[in-house]
Amino acid sequence: MIERSQATRREWTRLAAGVFVLAIGCSSEAVAPDGDGAGDASADAGGPTAVVFGDRVARRQFPALQAGATGVTAPIAFALPAETLSVTVVTEAADGRLAVARWRDGGGQNLVDEHWLSGPLAPWLCTQGCVFRQQSRPFEQALLAPNAPRPATLAGVHELRALHQAHDQGKWLPASGQVRVELVAVRGPALAAGRLPVNLCLTGALGWNAKNAPVLPRLQQAIADATQILAQVGIQLSVAVHDVAGAAPLVEHSSEDNELRDLFATGAQLPLGVNVFLVEQVYVATGGVQSPIAGISGGIPGPPLRMGTAGAGIAVSLALGPGEDDRLGLAIAHELGHFLGLYHTSEAQIGADPALHDDLGDTPGDGEDNLMYWAPQAGATKLSAEQGQILRSSAWLQPIGQ
């Protein structure tokens, strides 16, 4: 997510502080794993589920798991082959908020230790207890590994438990419920370059539609800008413009994200690609105050190769505030960065706490000139080599030249 203008930075900092306060309020809830009998025994009966590549990407869906009162499911076990480059775990439920509670990799290391749930930013963001950062999400969550130059053993047998939480009187608390889990694994070698299919979804905002799109200078400039930004790390955007029906002009980004889910559902029938919805305005509301934001991704990363699901998309605002620079192309590129797995180089500093930085080795300092700075201004278009590696490890990337 990025805020809209320098003028709203102070306001957004205040909002972000509110989120952190809420997170601290929820973090006192201790969560322990369920007993082995709590889940669907068929999920891990007969040993680990083997993931086999027939192509660059392998997908594996597991039988639904039941979370008990602690919110933690019984484990699934799966085996990844030696050629695995990256793997994304997608958890999904009809309601509630999802994350990975625990994940032991092929070398026996805990990529996610369940103690993260008593950490400072739980249950929103795992920065302590997770080798690779994860962000919990309503309805559908994805966690990408690796997502930083830290050691992980992808080859071998993994064990994973999901976390399900429900909204109760203003808090997200562990709750029983059914959770579905899918693995999306990508086979190496790493791509030097790849094509990213993107559907620009026109919702009727500003009168833009697929017919007049070719003669809309602002839209065409935005496509050119986003294309140029991502080309620096070997990503070739393949943009198709579509009209979608039934999208609301104003979309609230909240902890429940019902409106984002409804928006993304309008793109379910489009050709396979990352759906980027251009709406009049995306906003966050705190204490009755609506604050516009430039855009929001359905996850970090978004769910790979899914269309129309709760996290399957990006929403970007078209409305501009008085005197605001037009950064539409930059906003699209920034949210695509999130959707493929990038966190902010640096988050907003809250109070006396130091700013939270990403886990990459080549995005030093605050990275204000980086595309993934939390409040990128016009001209903040830089992407580092390590950011490029993460982006190109996504299952969304199609090899060029094949």
Binding site for Zn ion (CB under 5 A): 1-2
List alpha helices for 347-399, DSSP H. Answer: 385-392
Q: How far apart are CA 230 and CA 233, in angstroms?
A: 6
Question: Cβ 12 to Zn ion, closest distance in Å?
Answer: 11
Task: Indicate the residue among 1 and 148 with the shorter CB distance to Zn ion.
Answer: 1
| DSSP string over 285-344 | EETTEEEEEEEEESSSSPPTT--SSTTS-EEEE----TT----HHHHHHHHHHHHTTPPP
User: What is residue 224's three-state secondary structure?
Assistant: helix
Question: Cβ 299 to Zn ion, closest distance in Å?
Answer: 12
Question: Cβ 375 to Zn ion, closest distance in Å?
Answer: 9
195-231 burial, b for 16+ CB within 10 Å, e for fewer?
Answer: bbbbbbbbbbbbebeeeebeebeebeebbebbbebbe
CA distances from 201 to 184, 204, 275 (A): 25, 9, 6
Task: Indicate the residue among 223 and 342 with the shorter CB distance to Zn ion.
Answer: 342
Question: Cβ 188 to Zn ion, closest distance in Å?
Answer: 28
Task: Indicate the residue among 1 and 175 with the shorter CB distance to Zn ion.
Answer: 1
Task: Indicate the residue among 71 and 341 with the shorter CB distance to Zn ion.
Answer: 341
Task: Indicate the residue among 190 and 378 with the shorter CB distance to Zn ion.
Answer: 378
* CB neighbour class for 353 (10 Å; exposed up to 12, middle 13-18, buried from 19): exposed
Q: How far apart are CA 23 and CA 42, in angstroms?
A: 35
Question: Cβ 326 to Zn ion, closest distance in Å?
Answer: 18
Task: Indicate the residue among 16 and 99 with the shorter CB distance to Zn ion.
Answer: 16
Question: Cβ 2 to Zn ion, closest distance in Å?
Answer: 5
Question: Cβ 101 to Zn ion, closest distance in Å?
Answer: 25
- In degrees and rounded to multiples of 5, residue 194 shows phi and psi of -160, 160
- Residue nearest Zn ion, CB atom distance: 1
Task: Indicate the residue among 73 and 141 with the shorter CB distance to Zn ion.
Answer: 141
Are the beta carbons of 364 and 387 closer than 8 angstroms? no
292-301 burial, b for 16+ CB within 10 Å, e for fewer?
Answer: bbbbbbbbbb
